Structure 1
Amino acid sequence: MKILWIDLNSSYAHSSLALPALHAQIASNQDIEWIKVSATINENIGMIVDNIYRYHPDILAATAWLFNHEQLLHICTRLKALLPQSCLILGGPEFLGDNEAYLRNHPFVNCVFRGEGEEAFPQWLSCWNQPEQWAHIPGLCYIDSQQQYKDNGIARVQNFQALVPPEESYFFNWDKPFVQLETTRGCFNTCAFCVSGGEKPVRTLPIEQIRERLRLIHQHGIRNVRVLDRTFNYNTRRAKELLQLFLEFSPDIRFHLEIHPALLSEELKEELKQLPQGLLHLEAGIQSLHAPVLECSRRMGKLEDALEGLKFLCSLPNMETHADLIAGLPLYHLAEIFEDIRTLAEYQAGEIQLESLKLLPGTEMRRRASELGICYSPYPPYEVLQTNEISCNELQTARRLSRLLDGFYNVPAWQALTRTFILTDRYFLNNFLTYLTEKNFIDQPMSLEKRGLILYEYCKLNYPQYLTDASIAWIEAGMSLKKLPAERVRTKRQIPPTDWKVIYGQYKPTLRLCFLPVDETLEHGHWFGFESEIQMSKPVFRAYS
C-alpha cells in the first residue's frame, strides 16, 4: 500500500503536525509505503500535481484548513482526474461540521474524517479499499454505494498519553524556526467561535512525558517551542509544574503560551514574576473588553478579572504579552474596537492583534449565525461580512486598522511613538488611519524605513511637540542620518560635553558621535554613539546633556 501525503502549507515557515502525528502510530508497519510532497499555497498548482502524479499512490491524504483549502481542492480535482483509482481522504478542522453537502458537491473526495485521527486512521487503513466496512470507523463521513450519507460522529483519542509522540516520526520537521508541542488536548472553555469550544474531556500529558519530549527537542537545537495548550493556566498547580519544567531548559528554549488573563491566581502571578527574562512569550486571548460581547461569545471568566489579569501580564518586565481582539463578534461595535485598542496601549501590551471573526465549521457561533445576526462568507476563510452591530464598510475599516497596528504599533522601532500618539490624542487612530488610506499607504507593502518616514511626516503635521521623540526613534532604529527624520541631527566633528547623563552604553573616544538638539539654542540635547570600526547602524551609546 502506498500513501502519499499532500503537505500543503501557507508558507515554509509553518508545518502541520498531522502527518507525523498519524505516521508515528503506525511507522512500524512495513506493508505501508509513505511519501510526502510538500508545497505552499503560492506555488504553481500544475507543478505540484505533476510531482504527486509520478508516484501513482493508492491513497491520497491531506489536512484541510482555512488557508489551504481552496488550493488543496484545485490540486485534488486534477489528481483524481489523473488517478481515478486512488482513494482520496481529507481531514482537519474544515470537517468539524456537517459534511454531507461537501461530499455531494465534491464527489471526487472518497471520504472525510472528523476529529482526532491517531487511533481511528490506522483502523481505516486496514479497510481503505473496502467501503462496506467503513461504518465502524469513528469520525469517518462518506457517501456509500447507495448514495446515502454516512456520518460516524466525531473521533476522540481515548488514551492521549499512550500515543507515540510525533517527534518520533521521520516526517517530523526539525528545520523550522520553531516546533509545536501539544501538552493538552481538549479545552475547558466554551467559546462559541472556537473549534475547541466545549471539546471535552480535557486530556493532559504527564510532566515527565513532556520533559522527555523537550529533551529531544533540545537535542535538535530548537530555540522556540509553541506549547499547544488551549488555556495554559486553567489549572494553577499544573501551570506551576510546567513553568518549573520550562526553567530546566532556560535560556536555550523560549516557550510561547496561550494564557487566560481572567484565571490568573495570586499564586501563579508570583511564579510569573520570578521567571527569567525572555523565557515566556504570552498570548492573552481577550477578544473584547466589553462584557456583553464576551457573554454572547460564551467566553468564561469575569471581565473585571480579565482586565486586572491583562494589566498585570503587560506590566511584567521579564516577558512580552500579546493581546488579541476579534472584529465581527456579535454585539461588538467599531467604536468599541477603537476604544479597546487605546486601553490595551495604555496597558502597554507588547502587541495588539486585531483579527476578523471567521465562522469555522463545527462551532456554535456558525450554527447560530442567523440567530445572532451574523452574515458570513460561505467559502474559506468564512470571514464575517457584517453583523447587527458592525457594517460591511466598518469591517473593512477594522481590517485597515489591523494593518495600521501591524505596521506601526507591533513594530518595536515605532511602538513607543505610536503608543504616545494613541494615548495623547483620543482620535489619533481614526485620523491616522484616514491619512494612510487617503495616501494609499494602508494596503501597500511598507519597509521599516518607509513606515518611519510616514510617521515622522505625520508627526510634523500634527504633533510637532513630539518631533524630537520621532527623531530619537528613527536614530535608534538604525535608519539613515541623511533622511528627513534626522534633519536636525548634527554629525560632523561632534565633541562630547564636559557633563552628560548616560542613558545606556559606555562612551569611548572611538565612537562616532552625533547630536540631536532639543531647541534652537543647541545647549541641550541627545547624544548618540556609533561603532565606527564595525559600521553598526544602531547606536551603542546614548546620553543627554
Structure 2
Amino acid sequence: MKLLWLDLNSSYAHSSLALPALHAQVATSADDVEWFRHSATINENPGMIAAEVYRYAPDVVAATCWLFNHEVLLHVLARVHALLPEATILLGGPEFLGDNSEFLRTSSFVTAVFRGEGEESFSQWLRVWDQPESWSDISGLCYYDAQGNYHDQGIARVLDFDQLCSPEESSFFNWEKPFVQLETTRGCFNTCSFCVSGGEKPVRRLPLSQVRERLQRIHQAGIRDVRLLDRTFNYNIHYARQLLQLFQEFPGMRFHLEIHPALLTDELKQELLLLPQGLLHLEAGIQSLRADVLAEGHRKGRLEDALSGLKFLCSLPNMETHADLIAGLPLYRLQDIFSDVVTLASYHAGEIQLESLKVLPGTDMRRRASELGLVYSPYPPYEVLMTPHITPQELQTARYLSRLLDAFYNAKTWQTVTRQLIIEQPDFLLRFLEHLQALHVIDQPMALDRRGVILYEFCKNHYPEYAPLVAQAWIEGGLSLKKQPAEHVRTKHVSPPEKWNIVFGEYQEQLRLCVYAPPGAKEYVWYGYDSQVQNPRPVFKAISE
C-alpha cells in the first residue's frame, strides 16, 4: 500500500508533528506500507498541489486539518478525489473534535476522520485500511459505511503516553527547522470551555529520564529552540521544578512554555528567579483580568492569585513573559479589554497578545454557544462575531487594538514609550487607534521606521512631552538620523561636554558623537557610534544639562 501524507502548513517555517508522531509508531512494524510526504503551504495553488499528489499515485492520502489550513486543504482534496477516485482520503486533527457527521456528509470525498489522539488508532487502521467492514472497532474513527450509516467511535486517548515512540525517531522528523516542538505532558488539568484541551483527561507525563534523552538528541542536532506543547507547564509543581533543573543541563538552549500564573508557589518562584538569563520564554495564560469572565469560561485558579503571579512573572529580570487576552469571551466588554491592556502594560508584560475568541469544534463553548448568546462564523477560524456583551463594531475595534499592540507595544523599539503612554495617558489608546484608522494604516503592514514617524507626529500634535521619548527610541533603534523623528539631532562638529551622566556604554575618543537637543530642552542626550562596526545602533548614551 502506498500512503501519501499531505503536509499542508501556513508557511514553510512551521511543520506539523502529526506525520512523524504517527510514523514513529509503525516505522518497523508496517513493512507493507510505502510512506511518502508532500509538503506545501496554503499560499500555493490548490490545483498544482493536487497534481503533485496525483503524481505519487497513492492508495491513501492522509493529512492533518486545523483552523488555518482547513479551507485550502479541502479544495486540494476535492481535486485529488476527482483525479484519484479510488484513493482513500483520511483526515485527523483538532477540526474533528466535535460532531463529524455533517462534515463527512457534505465532504463526501473524505473517506473517514479521526477524533482525538491518533498514534495507536492510526496504527490499527493501517492494518485494515482496505477492509471497511473491520473499521468499527477502531477508537476515534468516524465514517459513513457503504450503506450510508454513520459510525462514530468516540474519542481516542493514548493512556500509555510514555510508551509511545518519540516523533524524533521517525525518518520524517524535520531537523532543518530552527526550533522543535516537544510534549512532556499530554492532557490538561484545566476545564477552560473555549479550549480544545479543556476536557482532555487524564494528564499524562513523560519520565524525566525520557525527556533528558530527547533533549540530548535535539541538542546534538544543533537545535537551540524548544517549544513545549504542554497545556500548562506548572500544573504539577514538583514535575515543573524537575524540568526547570533539567533545562539547565543544556546551556545555550531556550525553552518556550505556557505557565499558569495562578499556580505559582513560593518554591517555584524561587526556582524561576535563579534561572540563567534567556533560558525561558514564558506565555502566561490569563485571557481576561475579570473574575466573572474567567468563571464563565470555567478557568480554574483565583483571579487574585493569577494577577499576583502575573505581576511576579513580568518582573523577572532573567526572562520575558507574554500575556494574552481573548476578545469575545462571554461577559467580556470592550471597555474591560482596554482596561486590561492598561493593567498588563503597567505590569511590564513583554508582549500583549489580543486575539478574538474562536468557537472551536469539540469545546464546551461551542456546545453552549446558543445558551451563551454567541454568534460566530460557521467557517474556520470560527471567530466570534457578536455576544450579548460586545457588538460586531466593538469586536472590530478590539481587532484594531490588537494590530496597534503588535505594531507598537510588541515592537521592542517602540515598547517603552508606548507603555508609558498607555499607563500615563488614559485616552491614548483610543485616540491613537482613531488616528491610525484615519490614516488607513491600521490594517497595513508597516515598516519599523514608518511606525516611528507616525507615533512621533502623533505625539508632537497631541502629547508633545512624549515626542522626545519617541525621538530617543528612534535613535536607539538605529534608524535614520535624516528622518523627522531625528530632526533635532546634531551630527556635525559635536564635541563632548565637560560633564555628563553615562546611561549605557563606555565613552572612547574614536566614537562618532551626535547630540539630541530639542528647542527649550533642559537636558541634552548624547549618543556615540562605533565607526569600525557595521551597527546602526549607538553603543554609548549620556545625558548632560
Q: Is the 8 A contact 2:280 2:320 kept in 1?
A: yes
Counterpart CA distance in 2 for 1:143 and 1:312 is 53
What's the CA shift for 1:354? 0.2
1:119 aligns with 2:120: yes
Match of 2:527 in 1: 528
What's the CA shift for 1:51? 1.1
Match of 1:330 in 2: 330
What's the CA shift for 1:497? 1.4
Match of 1:430 in 2: 430
Partner SS state of residue 80, structure 1: helix
Match of 1:81 in 2: 82
Counterpart CA distance in 1 for 2:486 and 2:82 is 61
Counterpart CA distance in 2 for 1:314 and 1:518 is 34
Counterpart CA distance in 2 for 1:418 and 1:369 is 36
User: For 1:215-234, what per-residue CA distance to the aligned partner results, in whole angstroms no more than 9, with x for missing partners?
Assistant: 00001111110011111111
Q: Is the 8 A contact 2:89 2:111 kept in 1?
A: yes
User: For 1:149-208, what per-residue CA distance to the aligned partner results, in whole angstroms no more than 9, with x for missing partners?
Assistant: 000011001211011100111111111121100110000000000000021010000011
Q: Is the 8 A contact 2:65 2:73 kept in 1?
A: yes
Match of 2:488 in 1: 488
Counterparts of 1:90-129 in structure 2, within 5 Å, are 90-129=91-130
What's the CA shift for 1:13? 1.2
User: For 1:471-513, what per-residue CA distance to the aligned partner results, in whole angstroms no more than 9, with x for missing partners?
Assistant: 1100011100000000000100211112211111111111110
1:186 aligns with 2:216: no
Counterparts of 1:451-470 in structure 2, within 5 Å, are 451-470=451-470
Which letter maps to 1:185?
A: R
Counterpart CA distance in 1 for 2:258 and 2:378 is 29
Match of 1:132 in 2: 133
Aligned identity (percent) is 66
What's the CA shift for 1:533? 2.3
What's the CA shift for 1:524? 3.5
Q: Is there any run of 5+ residues in structure 2 with no aligned partner, and where?
A: none
1:162 aligns with 2:170: no
Counterpart CA distance in 1 for 2:10 and 2:236 is 33
User: For 1:348-395, what per-residue CA distance to the aligned partner results, in whole angstroms no more than 9, with x for missing partners?
Assistant: 000000000001110000000000010001110000000000001110
Counterpart CA distance in 2 for 1:64 and 1:504 is 50
Q: Is the 8 A contact 2:117 2:158 kept in 1?
A: yes
Match of 2:391 in 1: 391
Partner SS state of residue 6, structure 2: strand
Match of 1:56 in 2: 57
Match of 1:150 in 2: 151
Counterpart CA distance in 2 for 1:88 and 1:72 is 12
Match of 1:537 in 2: 536
RMSD (Å) for aligned C-alpha atoms: 0.9
Counterpart CA distance in 2 for 1:493 and 1:220 is 52
Partner SS state of residue 187, structure 1: coil
Q: Is the 8 A contact 2:334 2:394 kept in 1?
A: yes
User: For 1:505-545, what per-residue CA distance to the aligned partner results, in whole angstroms no more than 9, with x for missing partners?
Assistant: 11111111000125537x74111011112342100111111
Counterpart CA distance in 2 for 1:75 and 1:330 is 36
Q: Is the 8 A contact 2:488 2:518 kept in 1?
A: no
Partner SS state of residue 54, structure 1: helix
Counterpart CA distance in 1 for 2:453 and 2:213 is 49
Counterpart CA distance in 2 for 1:270 and 1:445 is 41
What's the CA shift for 1:103? 0.6
- When structure 1 is superposed on structure 2, of 462-471 and 484-493 the one drifting more is 462-471
Q: Is the 8 A contact 1:518 1:526 kept in 2?
A: no
Match of 2:449 in 1: 449
Partner SS state of residue 298, structure 2: coil
Partner SS state of residue 489, structure 2: coil
Partner SS state of residue 506, structure 2: coil
* TM-score, length basis structure 2: 0.99
Q: Is the 8 A contact 1:332 1:390 kept in 2?
A: yes
What's the CA shift for 1:92? 0.2
Counterparts of 1:183-262 in structure 2, within 5 Å, are 183-250=184-251, 252-262=252-262
* TM-score, length basis structure 1: 0.99
Which letter maps to 1:325?
A: L
Partner SS state of residue 63, structure 2: strand
Counterpart CA distance in 2 for 1:341 and 1:94 is 31
1:498 aligns with 2:498: yes
Partner SS state of residue 432, structure 2: helix
Which letter maps to 1:526?
A: V
Counterpart CA distance in 1 for 2:426 and 2:541 is 31
What's the CA shift for 1:470? 1.1
User: For 1:403-434, what per-residue CA distance to the aligned partner results, in whole angstroms no more than 9, with x for missing partners?
Assistant: 00000000000000101110111111111001
Q: Is the 8 A contact 1:3 1:34 kept in 2?
A: yes
Q: Is there any run of 5+ residues in structure 1 with no aligned partner, and where?
A: none
Counterpart CA distance in 2 for 1:533 and 1:488 is 25
Counterpart CA distance in 2 for 1:49 and 1:177 is 29
Counterpart CA distance in 1 for 2:510 and 2:198 is 60
User: For 1:33-74, what per-residue CA distance to the aligned partner results, in whole angstroms no more than 9, with x for missing partners?
Assistant: 111000110111122111111110010000000000000000
Counterpart CA distance in 1 for 2:319 and 2:483 is 34
Counterpart CA distance in 2 for 1:520 and 1:433 is 30
Counterpart CA distance in 1 for 2:385 and 2:320 is 32
Counterpart CA distance in 2 for 1:372 and 1:135 is 36
Change (3 A) 1:294 1:132: same
What's the CA shift for 1:30? 2.2
Counterpart CA distance in 2 for 1:176 and 1:435 is 40
Which letter maps to 1:543?
A: A
Partner SS state of residue 88, structure 1: strand
